[in-house]
Amino acid sequence: MQLKKILFLLIINCLVISCTGDKLVPTKGPEGDPGSELNFAQFDDIPIPMDSELIKEDSIIISKQNGWLGRLVFDTGDNQLEIFDFFRNELPKFGWKKLSEIRSERSLLNYSNNNRLASIQIIDNTFFGSMVTITVTELDS
Tell me, what's the pLDDT at 8? 64
- Rounded Cα distance, 30 and 28, in Å: 7
What is the value of pTM for the model shown? 0.71
Tell me, what's the pLDDT at 2? 75
Report which residue type is found at 89.
N
Tell me, what's the pLDDT at 63? 72
DSSP designation for 58: G
Domain 38-138 has CATH 1.10.357: no
Tell me, what's the pLDDT at 39? 66
- Rounded Cα distance, 113 and 57, in Å: 26
Q: Is residue 4 classed as helix, strand or coil in its secondary structure?
A: helix
Averaged pLDDT, groups of 10, the chain, 141 residues long:
67 56 36 56 84 90 79 94 95 96 95 94 92 92 62
CATH 3.30.310 range(s) for the chain read: 38-138
